[in-house]
Amino acid sequence: MTRRKKLLTALIAAPLLLAAALYVAAPHPPAIPRAVANADDLDAYLRDLTEAGTPPGLSVAVISDGQMVFNRAYGIAEPFNTTPVTPETRFHWWSMTKMATAMGILQLVDQGRIALDDPVARYLPFFTVQSDGKDARPITIRMLLNHTSGLKDTMPAMMGWVHFEDETPNQSALLRRVLPNYAKLRDAPGQSRAYSNLGYMVLGAVIESVTGQRYEHTIEKDVLAPLGIGQTAFLYPAEQTAINAAGSHPLVSIFTPLLPVYVPLGKLVAAWIGTNLWFNRFYIDATPSTGLIGTAADAARLAWAFAGDSRALASATLRLTRQGDGGLPLGWEGFSQDGTPWFQHRGGGPGFASIMRLYPTKGLAVAIVANSTNLDREGLSDLIAGIDWGK
């Protein structure tokens, strides 16, 4: 073998050997069981899961027929003082925030201040997009809610829209700045469903335009507070650092190579411990799509509000969120199993993973939040939903 070939082989082999070593050294969580009989068995499994370190910590909340029947926490919130996770620990919700944004928009529909099929440009004159000319239909509020607007997504560039100061950027100004980069549609409006963080950024700006208030103020005052959601907001509570979870990210992950491309790692990473990167406190600029930080219990309360809480929305509007007039649900992603409909919204980004589910016919809402980028959210949700919580 020539010297050049030996060098090339070494260059290829080195990262592969490093990745293999990290994988072997990484914690391997216990497999999710096919079923558990009751809450005690679930509790035992979740303890085993966090003791394995993947994720380091998580919190789970379950509402059955309007009552909080399970609200427990496991593992550590951060590694420096090994602060335990409690039901009051706050995690980034990431995209579960979209359900609060959807409710804020639908409240404006209930109040007659906007209509679902109004064009977005009626409320945001600066909102202009480019299509290929095949379909000149305007993008409507409904299309943004059910992800059929044709707008592109802002990922992965959105990973770089971070800041470390305890403040929230003006969402209308942020949208004005980034919209030109995404103005060319990927599909004709109303043609197909394709997930778009940008669509919910637009909805946040619509809320600001109609209410004359900052998006975050409207959501906290008009959506969260009436539902008794009091431990979730868009900023970390500085005076209560012990209840803030730190995000963690496994070195062995397909997302790891993207981090230095988009995020200032010197500011983001607090420590490299074992096979995990631990993050400093940070915020994503785009709050309507990803900004809330809160507890699992509050996430379950928000999910349950869509089951028929009159404090949230009129009953006819609530039905639209699940049925969409025979079309797509609004806000949620809809599923059906053995003829039983259920709905979910996931959240995920650097350091955190989350999920909320609603089973209207079972009278059940489930929420999970964790401080790791990697988590089998769907598998855990299936496990939890399989318990007979009515016993």
pLDDT at 19 over 60: no
Query: In which band, very low, low, confident or very high, does the pLDDT at 261 lie, cut at 50, 70 and 90?
Result: confident
H helix runs in the chain, sequence order: 3-25, 39-51, 97-110, 141-145, 171-178, 197-211, 215-218, 259-262, 265-268, 287-290, 296-305, 315-323, 377-385
pLDDT at 11 over 70: no
Which CATH number applies to 39-385: 3.40.710.10, 3.40.50.920, 3.30.565.10, 1.20.120.80? 3.40.710.10
Among residues 87, 196, 88, the alpha carbon closest in space to that of 152 is found at 196
Cα separation, 116 vs 350, in Å, equals: 33
Q: What's residue 326's pLDDT?
A: 55
pLDDT at 290 over 70: yes
Question: Which tens digit of pLDDT belongs to each residue from 70-120?
Answer: 999 999 999 999 999 999 999 999 999 999 999 999 999 999 999 999 999
Element holding 228 (H helix, E strand) = none
Mean pLDDT of all residues in 288-311:
95
Mean pLDDT of all residues in 23-49:
87
Question: Which tens digit of pLDDT belongs to each residue from 321-365?
Answer: 887 545 789 999 999 888 888 999 999 999 999 999 999 999 999
Boundaries of every domain in the chain: 39-385
Question: Which tens digit of pLDDT belongs to each residue from 171-186?
Answer: 999 999 999 999 999 9
Query: In which band, very low, low, confident or very high, does the pLDDT at 262 lie, cut at 50, 70 and 90?
Result: confident
Question: Buried b / exposed e across 322-359, counting CB within 10 Å, b at 16+?
Answer: bebeeebbbbbebeeeeeebbbbbbbbbbbbbbbbbbb
Mean pLDDT of all residues in 56-69:
97
